[in-house]
Amino acid sequence: MLKKERFRRFIDYFTTHFPEPETELNFSNSYELLVAVILSAQCTDKRINQITPALFARFPEVESLAAASVEEVFTYIRSVSYPNNKAKHLVGMARMLMNDFGGDVPGTVEELQRLPGVGRKTAHVILSIVFNQPTMAVDTHVFRVSHRLGLAPLTATTPLAVEKALMAHIPKQYVPKAHHWLILHGRYICVARSPKCGECALRDACKYYEKLSVELRVKS
């Protein structure tokens, strides 16, 4: 199957069966989403959703978080990965939002990446969800699934290379959705260990499954 056909199969399946995907992080505004995404680095959305209600109750807007101490923020996020660094990032992020952006979450990748704790992936998540921009955030799920399905070549060994490979073939109107499609597929079907190929509706267009099938035939 040609790469163009793989992309068409991928888009056709998800637009039909999962047309309106959404992030699994709980949030009610751009400030809360930014906090949640910073916290979610190397941590599960489930864990973040468990700790953010109390965090947002104590710091309901950027002003209160900017006025907080790192030590107090730490007490609310101690159960996430790297809580010391993330507490510093959250307070620093909130203070920069107040000082440089009037308390508003900015809408460009360059401005977002100035914020403590915000890298390219986090910036693209914000731009995609909040501003509906055609940006592709590449996390471990997107990276893995893209390679397995054959949407990204094996030579794409960095998140940026995978991002470029996907952006070159996915129509702009589908890019924000495709980010979620890849993440959710990787989270529940195309898992890192023992992928659930038997449950995957895309296995007919999957390079990984194609190779696996050949190996099984050779062994038999």
What confidence tens digit (pLDDT) does each residue in 31-90 have? Answer: 999 999 999 999 999 999 999 999 999 999 999 999 999 999 999 999 999 999 999 999
- The answer to whether residues 17 and 39 belong to one domain is no
Chosen domain end from 100, 131, 162: 131
Q: Return the higher-pLDDT residue of 217 and 139.
A: 139
Chosen domain end from 116, 131, 146: 131
Structure tokens at 198: 């038997």
Q: What is the mean pLDDT of the chain?
A: 95
- The answer to whether residues 151 and 213 belong to one domain is yes
- The answer to whether residues 34 and 83 belong to one domain is yes
Is 4 among the catalytic positions?
no
Of 154, 112, 159, 160, which Cα lies nearest the Cα of 140? Answer: 159
Is 197 annotated to bind a ligand? Reply is yes
Among the options 3, 139, 211, 219, which is catalytic? 139
What is the band of 216 on the pLDDT scale with cuts at 50, 70, 90? low
Among the options 3, 4, 100, 121, which is catalytic? 121
Integer-rounded Cα Rg, in Å, for the chain is 19
- The answer to whether residues 127 and 141 belong to one domain is no
> Which whole-number Å values give the CA distances from 94 to 31, 44, 60, 69, 144, in the listed order?
9, 23, 12, 11, 32
Q: Determine contact, residues 134/160, Cβ cutoff 8 Å.
A: no
Looking up residue 202, the CATH number of its domain turns out to be 1.10.1670.10
- The answer to whether residues 41 and 79 belong to one domain is yes
- The answer to whether residues 98 and 184 belong to one domain is no
State how far the Cα of 90 lies from the Cα of 193, in Å rounded to an integer: 32
Is 43 annotated to bind a ligand? Reply is no
Burial label for 104, CB within 10 Å (0-12, 13-18, 19+), is exposed
- The answer to whether residues 113 and 61 belong to one domain is yes
What confidence tens digit (pLDDT) does each residue in 97-135 have? Answer: 999 999 999 999 999 999 999 999 999 999 999 998 999
Q: How many structural domains are present in the chain?
A: 2
Alpha helices in 150-220 (DSSP H): 159-167, 175-188, 207-219
- The answer to whether residues 34 and 16 belong to one domain is no
State how far the Cα of 204 lies from the Cα of 48, in Å rounded to an integer: 35
Chosen domain end from 131, 156, 171: 131
- The answer to whether residues 121 and 157 belong to one domain is no
Residue 220 has what pLDDT? 60
Domain residues for 157?
Answer: 3-21+137-219
Is 190 annotated to bind a ligand? Reply is yes
- The answer to whether residues 125 and 63 belong to one domain is yes
Is 139 among the catalytic positions?
yes
- The answer to whether residues 63 and 101 belong to one domain is yes
- The answer to whether residues 115 and 178 belong to one domain is no
